[in-house]
Amino acid sequence: METPLTVRDVTYERLAKTIDHSLLRPELTLAEVREGCELAARYDVASVCVRPADVVLAAEPLRGTAVAVGTVVGFPHGAHRTETKVFEAERAMVDGATELDMVINIGWLRSGEDDRVREDIGAVVDAAAGHALVKVILENAYLSDDEKLRGSRLVEAAGADYVKTSTGFAPGGATIEDLLLMRGAVSERVRVKAAGGVRTLDALLEVISVGVDRIGATQTAAILDDYRARTAA
């Protein structure tokens, strides 16, 4: 495993543009979502990831910034019909989303229905083509290592942009072991997103060191404020 990066090895911009600021908790008020989007703009992160009904709300405070609007598809269980996932993706893009985090059909993967899993992902990829990035959530807490490997390879075969560890709503989140496994399972074309448990600057530096390109974070301000404090002259 690579030696973890230190704050001296990375710029603020690189760190910030690794973060998808997560606003997915079901109890968030509209005011809290708006405040979260304003925070994301202040810290100039990669994106916000909001609930589907909040995409229009998020698009307004982020208009004119370099922060993308993202949302979720088939969330959090992945067992929606493929047609429903496609509709969710299409509606989200109409509303202003340019990044889509979709959940695979976990039960299909565990049942060995690999063709169906690939086709489910591929339908969303086709709907998003040229309009939005597609990040595919495996939900590793429920999978064996073999299933994680197969799932990662199916994500690449379907043409998606990212393979992602978790929704953040399952019993476990991202682990270094899983991130290494996923990074090794796909080509450099496919990027890796860690979600669930990356709550500190040191944890973020560690996952970047093993090949992660994005994280889902709720502790965005704490992470980036810590970076600024450690690098202050």
Can 164 be counted among the known catalytic residues?
Answer: yes
The pLDDT value given to residue 2: 66
The CA distance from 120 to 118, in Å, is: 5
pLDDT class for 1, splitting at 50, 70, 90?
Answer: low
Catalytic residue among 20, 161, 193, 213: 193
- Predicted confidence (pLDDT) at residue 6 exceeds the cutoff of 80: yes
Residue 50: how many CB atoms within 10 A of its CB? 28
Cα–Cα distance for residue pair 71/48, rounded to 1 Å: 8
185's CB contacts (< 8 A; 6+ apart) are: 148, 149, 152, 153, 163
Whether this prediction's pTM lies above 0.85 is answered by yes
Q: What angle do CA 225, 54, 42 make, to 5 degrees?
A: 25
- DSSP 8-state symbol, 178: H
Among the options 54, 101, 120, 213, which is catalytic? Answer: 101
pLDDT given at position 114 = 98
Region 195-221 average pLDDT: 97
| Domains and their CATH numbers in the chain | 7-231 (3.20.20.70)
Asked if 104 contacts 75 with a C-beta cutoff of 8 angstroms, the reply is no
The pLDDT tens digits for 223-232 are: 999 999 999 9
Q: Which residues contact 157 (CB under 8 A, 6 or more apart)?
A: 118
pLDDT tens-place string over residues 155-175: 999 999 999 999 999 999 999
What integer pLDDT is reported at residue 4 of this predicted model? 80
pLDDT digits (tens, 9 = 90+) for 106-138: 999 999 999 999 999 999 999 999 899 999 999
Query: What is the percent of the chain with per-residue pLDDT over 90, rounded to a whole number?
Result: 97
Mean pLDDT score, 151-155: 98
**Catalytic status, residue 101:** yes
Average pLDDT for 77-102: 98
Copy the structure tokens of residue 155: 């994500």
- 24-39 pLDDT tens trace: 999 999 999 999 999 9
So what's the pLDDT on residue 233?
A: 59
Q: Encode pLDDT of 84-96 as tens digits.
A: 999 999 999 999 9
Per the CB < 8 A criterion, the answer to whether 40 and 58 are in contact is: no
Whether 73 shows a pLDDT value over 60: the answer reads yes
pLDDT of residue 3: 78
Pick the catalytic residue: 85, 164, 178, 213? 164
The interaxial angle of helices 176-185 and 145-157, nearest 10 deg, is 40
The beta-strand segments (E) located in the chain are 19-23, 47-50, 68-73, 99-103, 133-137, 162-164, 191-195, 214-217
**Residue 194: its pLDDT value, please?**
98
* pLDDT of residue 221 exceeding 60: yes
Of 101, 169, 111, 99, the closest CA to residue 140 belongs to 169
